Amino acid sequence: MQPHYRFAGFMGRRVHLGVTGSIAAYKALDILRALQEADCRVSATVTEAGARFVTPLSFEALGASPVYDAMFGGSGKGDTSFGHLEPGQDADVLLIAPATASTMARLAFGLADDMLACQALAFPGPKLVAPAMNPRMWEAPATRRNWATLEALGYVRIEPDSGNVACGDTGAGRLAPLEQIVTATLRALSPQDLAGRKVLVTLGPTREPWDAVRFWSNPSSGTMGACMAMAAYLRGAEVSVVAGPTALDFPDGMQVVRVQTARQMFEAATDLWPSMDVGCATAAVADFRPLPFGEGKFKKADLDGDNLMVEFEPNHDILQAMGRAKTGGQQLIGFAAETADLQAEAERKLKSKRLDLLAANDVSEAGSGFASATNRMFVLDASGRRESWPQLPKTEVAWRLWDHLLLD
């Protein structure tokens, strides 16, 4: 998983994982590991059909506890008289992944004819379902109806992916990617304190073309912005991302506009900004763009003299434009990448860009800045608070920045 999916801090929260009889059942082991990396405690129920693909012992060996299997006379450690009720009393979230067509039917009709079906029926908290099956089974009217019923019953539905499936058919029915399943689960566990807020995040570098094959850019990976977007999404915000060229992907629930140049980023961000509640500018925008060489590729033979001279013209300051257009109810978060005079520069940018909150870091320091998984931040806000944070994972920096904004 890319770094912006690796949120931790869910210590003390328990996910009960239901695993049913699909070839994708082996992927439930990765789900278990990913949830443990988020600090969640995981218990599991492996149905009889599920256990034909992956044994309950595999889940136990990886630390799931308790692990249930059959309702009567099962071998799982979790087989107590009231095992069919226990996750409902103790776990925070029930995640069924993969869910077969027959499991979906059981859940939709409220059947209680196996351990997992009973546990689901008796589960009062958030329930998530991630189906996996043959595309024709997925398209079948009965499955469509059950899928709609699950929505009406309040299940969080994680849509299957399209592609080749094990039996050789192609279409929708593959288990959703790990990232989508983990994100939906962590969202169900997160405080929804940003619910109802529309958040815009700019992220990544921009690329300013010079000739047909060359551009001016910087090494930003977009990770800090992706962490801001993800933290807001997990906490219930409606998130729009304007991303420069980056290899990062985002959960299905976010609106993502991909751009290349600073001018395109400016257009996309300023278009969206009036309808947003919070803007968060993490993009490493090129402040200048080279005057284009011409139509084709620059050849060495085109050189006039010994040195190549390239002229640059200024790009818009996107955050400054958002600051100028900011209305009473809107809030703006900026970032500052510095190599000297960190605090003074941060103070200047907080004021000149009309920000509510600014996080500044020294990008020349190891473990802070471009393409790093961590950052050491100096954080300042418009109400006068100044804080120096230790080096933290970018996921944690993002979570704390949203905490900080909510305090104001």
Q: Which of 26, 9, 160, 31 is nearest to 94 (CA)?
A: 31
Where in 299-358 is the site for ligand CTP (CB under 6 A)?
A: 315, 317-319, 334-337, 349
**Which residues in 55-84 contact ligand CTP (CB under 6 A)?**
none
For the bound state, the minimum distance from the C-beta of residue 213 to ligand CTP, rounded and expressed in Å, comes to 24
**Which residue in the list 40, 118, 167, 280 is annotated as catalytic?**
167
Structure tokens, 113: 């004819």
In 26-170, which ranges are continuous DSSP H helix? 27-37, 50-53, 56-61, 86-90, 101-109, 115-121, 135-139, 141-152
- DSSP state at residue 58: H
Interaction residues for ligand CTP, span 274-303 (CB under 6 A):
281-283, 285, 287
Count, residues near ligand CTP per rule CB under 6 A: 16
Angle between helices 262-272 and 318-325 (to 10 degrees): 20
Scan residues 189-248 and list those touching ligand CTP (CB under 6 A). Answer: 202
**Closer of 348 and 386 to ligand CTP (Cβ):** 348
Closest separation in Å from C-beta 278 to ligand CTP: 13
Q: How far is the CB of 399 from ligand CTP (least distance, A)?
A: 18
Q: Is 167 a catalytic site residue?
A: yes
| Closest to ligand CTP by CB, 79 or 338 | 338
For ligand CTP, which is the closer residue by CB, 184 or 281? 281
Q: Is 340 exposed, middle or buried (0-12, 13-18, 19+ CB in 10 A)?
A: exposed
Shortest Å distance, C-beta 9 to ligand CTP: 25
**DSSP helix/strand/coil, 244:** coil
DSSP 260: -
Smallest gap from Cβ 339 to ligand CTP, in A, equals 9
Smallest CA-to-CA distance from 68 within 129, 19, 25 is with 19
What is the distance between the alpha carbons of residues 263 and 179, in angstroms, rounded to a whole number? Answer: 31
Whose Cβ is closer to ligand CTP: residue 181's or residue 200's?
200
Residue 9, CB half-sphere, CA atoms under 13 Å: how many? 18
Between 77 and 316, name the residue whose CB sits nearer to ligand CTP: 316
Q: Contact residues for ligand CTP (CB under 6 A)?
A: 202, 262, 281-283, 285, 287, 315, 317-319, 334-337, 349
Would you please indicate which residues are annotated as catalytic (active-site) residues?
167
